Amino acid sequence: VDLKSAPLTKASHIDSILLRFEQEYKPGLLQLLQHFNSNDEKDVYKRRYYNEMLLKLLIELDGIDITTLQGERKIELKLRRKAAIKEIQQHLKLLDTLQ
């Protein structure tokens, strides 16, 4: 079975976005927050890179349509998506504090 051709369920799509954030971006972002130097071009580039990647994740989360769902399932997915958005936005705010 080719897993790549199977469409993601809405729940697994939310989970995959969150997993990407946790694994690909969060560790480097946290490291950057601890050691940011505004005079270092690499750090400034990294800040812009993480900012852009997190915005892309938010756009992707925004694109997950849950309007067609009903009842408990809709409520559960809405809360999951909202929590994912909040976590990513929190880290965007932290990036914004870097000067």
CA atoms within 13 A on the CB side of 10: 17
- Which residue carries 């309007």 as its tokens? 67
C-alpha span between 93 and 85 (Å, rounded): 12
What is the reported pLDDT for 99?
80
At residue 51, the pLDDT reads 97
R_g of the chain computed on alpha carbons = 16
pLDDT confidence of residue 2: 46
Please state the rounded mean pLDDT for residues 4-17: 82
What is the pTM for the complete model shown?
Answer: 0.88
Q: pLDDT tens-digit profile of 19-47? A: 999 999 999 999 999 999 999 999 999 99
